[in-house]
Structure 1
Amino acid sequence: MAKEKGRKLIAQNKKARHDYHVIDTYEAGLVLTGTEVKSLRQGRASLADGFVQLDGNEAWLHNVHVPEYTQGTWTNHSARRKRKLLLHREEIDKLAAKSQETGHTIVPLALYFKEGRAKVEIALARGKKEYDKRQTLREKQDRRETDRAISAVRRRERG
């Protein structure tokens, strides 16, 4: 059986991009149990409250909800257990140094399968102030209105 190629998205944390300025992103592997992998293959997970904590020379993913596997038995996993992230030592050292700065945190952005292996995209981020969030929404809305106006003009030119 050949492993599937490409990137199959399982869960995305859209709120993180709204609440934080993303400074740098990293791709990390996950240490999972069998029932967690099966549950993820069914496309069930939530990154909403997730965060990464550095403990010594290891990175841990906390509060990510992977529901129990429905056909699982007594070997089933707990839904919100902490999971170890697989990163290179240089990446962990760099994250540790930068996350010590005031206002910086490490949040998960996406959970996906890449060539059959579970990966999580994590980001070093700085929290946004309330006015930054409003400004971002305003820019997004302005961009959307501009695109609508341009497409309306192009439709009129064609028709």
Structure 2
Amino acid sequence: MKKQKPKPTNLLAQNKKAGHDYNILETYEAGIALSGTEIKSVRAGKVNLKDGFARIRNGEAWLENVHISPYKEGNQFNADPLRNRKLLLHKKEISKLTGVVQEKGTTLIPLRMYLKHGYAKVLIGVGQGKKLFDKRETLKRKDQDREMQRALKNARN
């Protein structure tokens, strides 16, 4: 049986569509630079990773198009919900990601956002876009696996 990765206990947001649209080749854990009211909103789970992506610019990693809702009690201290946020990675990781992203068809996608030791972390995946027939094949394989598990379960009972 396939060994599953342990899921973070403090999961705040998850990009479920990423697994459907991309083949995830590698994952990296990155910190994220947030303002005071943004971290409060993140801890409340007001994050949407659906259309987000990461980009390497001037030797720095940036998280773009991720919506963090304004904090309810933040009034004038709230930042723009869609602003670009800096990802905190080591230089070696950034240089490796720069080389990987320059290949045609690969992109950086935020997969999950969670809390680890009180800090907000983002799981970034290096993804390669799937074609329509790949998506159909994946769905077909999932259905077959599900049917097989049902048959095995019914055979045991």
Q: TM-score range by the shorter chain?
A: over 0.9
> Where in structure 1 are there 5+ consecutive unaligned residues?
1-5
Structure 1 residue 22 displacement after superposition = 0.6
2:150 counterpart of 1:134: no
The Cα shift of 1:7 comes to 3.4
- Aligned with 2:50 (options 39, 48, 51): 48
Of 55, 60, 63, which residue of structure 2 is paired with 1:61? 63
Pair 1:108 & 2:110 matched: yes
Q: Which residue of 2 aligns with 1:89?
A: 91
Cα deviation, residue 149, structure 1: 1.1
Structure 1: 4+ residue segments shifted above 6 A: none
Pair member with larger Rg: 1
Asked whether the equivalents of residues 46 and 66 of structure 1 are also in contact (C-alpha less than 8 Å), the reply is: yes
Shift of 1:148: 1.0
**Counterpart AA for 1:37:** I
CA offsets per residue over residues 39-83 of structure 1, 9 Å max, x none?
111111110000001001100000101100011121111111110
Q: Return the alpha-carbon distance in structure 2 between the equivalents of residues 45 and 78 of structure 1.
A: 13
Q: TM-score when scaled to structure 1?
A: 0.92
**Counterpart residue number, 1:29:** 31
Structure 2, gaps ≥5 residues long: 1-7
* Number of the residue aligned with 2:155: 153
| Alignment partner, residue 3 of structure 1 | none
One-letter amino acid of the counterpart of residue 14, structure 1:
K
User: Aligned-pair RMSD on alpha carbons?
Assistant: 0.9
Residue identity (%)? 50
Matched with 1:15 is 17
Letter in 1 for 2:85: R
- Return the alpha-carbon distance in structure 1 between the equivalents of residues 154 and 46 of structure 2: 39
Tell me, what secondary structure is at the counterpart of 1:69?
Answer: coil
Structure 2 Cα separation of the partners of residues 94 and 7 of structure 1: 28
